[in-house]
Amino acid sequence: MYSRAYKAFVSLPPLLWVGLFLLLPYALMFAHSFWAVREGVVVHDWNLENFKTLYSNPVYFAVLLRTMRIAGSVTLCSLLLGYPLAYYLSFHAGARKELLYQLVIVPLWVSYLVRGYAWKTILGSEGVLNGFLQYLHLTHEPVAFLLYSPFAVVLMLTHIYTPFVFLPIYASLEHIPRPLVEASQDLGAGSAQTFFRVILPLSIPGLLAGATFAFVLSLGDFLAPLLVGGASGTMIANVVQSLFGAAFDWPLGAAIAVCILIITISLLFLSERVEKRWSFK
């Protein structure tokens, strides 16, 4: 029912825009990863040196490993907080369900930076938590190890991604037909059995979506380490950022960014595959 002119009119502008402002930049990122720097200038000299450097220098691998560990911890902690919360809301909250749902959403809208800053004021050696501990006479010296550590990064990112993880899990729990749960109970399964054999398997797609999201976004985060991580909390994206800044080696930075991109896209692809297998409909 729509004419060719109509279709062309709606398709062409976004196609051109996306080609120019998304596809071209991502392509430039790939191109840079095969270029080199000579005497402070990026030269278009195609080679694999950057990837060889990444492969042979153990420092990059160590940082990547630490980043994975941090992202893994964030994902696990967000699941441990988000899943029970979603389960509670979906199965036990009764009339308060809608209100509690809104309460989980609100922090999602609070700026990332503001929340990071809040943790900084809480964890610092002259921060709120140390003040609290000294007020209770639990300690007389400020506890210094809280801020500027991988722990602080995990804490801050868990705080940010718990609501994100909660949402898809809650959605998949809400989609479970209640008669299935009741049938399981009527046929003599206990609460634990019902949970592990009916509810948990049916919520796998939501769980996976949330976990992938938390992992992927933590993996590429560079602000949390700058804000609360200190030197011991440096992550792979910080390396990229410093290569693009002070160290001025854009090609090497681009090579690492390409690696992050590839890891991210493979994880998304994988999780989409597994999700499809586990969804029922």
Query: Residues 110 to 149: which contact other proteins by CB under 8 A?
Result: 110-115, 117-122, 124, 126-128, 130-132, 134-135
Phi and psi at residue 40, in whole multiples of 5°? Answer: 75, 10
Stretch that binds other proteins, among 50-58, 59-67, 81-89, 143-151 (CB under 8 A): 81-89
Q: To which residue do tokens 């595959």 refer?
A: 273
Q: 40 vs 56, which CB is nearer to other proteins?
A: 40
Q: Which of 50, 157, 159, 229 binds other proteins (CB under 8 A)?
A: 159
Q: Residue 20: how many CB atoms within 10 A of its CB?
A: 10
Q: 82 vs 150, which CB is nearer to other proteins?
A: 82
Q: How far is the CB of 113 from other proteins (least distance, A)?
A: 5
| Interactions with other proteins, residue window 1-20 (CB under 8 A) | 1-3, 5-8, 10-11, 13-15, 17-18
Angle, helices 97-105 vs 150-174, to 10°: value is: 140
Q: Could you give the 3-state DSSP secondary structure of residue 187?
A: coil
Contact pattern for other proteins over residues 243 through 272, marking x by CB under 8 A: -x-----x--xx--x--xx--x---x----
Q: Which of 37, 68, 76, 104 binds other proteins (CB under 8 A)?
A: 104
Q: How far is the CB of 120 from other proteins (least distance, A)?
A: 7
Q: Which of 70, 153, 167, 255 binds other proteins (CB under 8 A)?
A: 167
In sign, the C-alpha dihedral spanning 45, 46, 47, 51 is: positive
- Here the tokens at position 261 are 């991109």
Q: Which of 38, 92, 137, 276 binds other proteins (CB under 8 A)?
A: 92
- Here the tokens at position 172 are 């998949």
Cα–Cα distance between 117 and 136 in angstroms, integer?
24
Residue 105 within binding range of other proteins, rule CB under 8 A: yes
Angle at 165 between CA 163 and CA 148, to 5 degrees: 70
Categorise residue 155: left if φ over 0, alpha if ψ from -120 to 50, beta otherwise.
Answer: alpha
Give the residue from 138, 134, 132, 125 showing the smallest Cα distance to 228: 125
Contact pattern for other proteins over residues 202 through 241, marking x by CB under 8 A: -------xx--x--xx-xxxxx---x---------x--xx
Q: How far is the CB of 270 from other proteins (least distance, A)?
A: 13
Per this entry, what is the length of the chain?
281
Q: 56 vs 92, which CB is nearer to other proteins?
A: 92
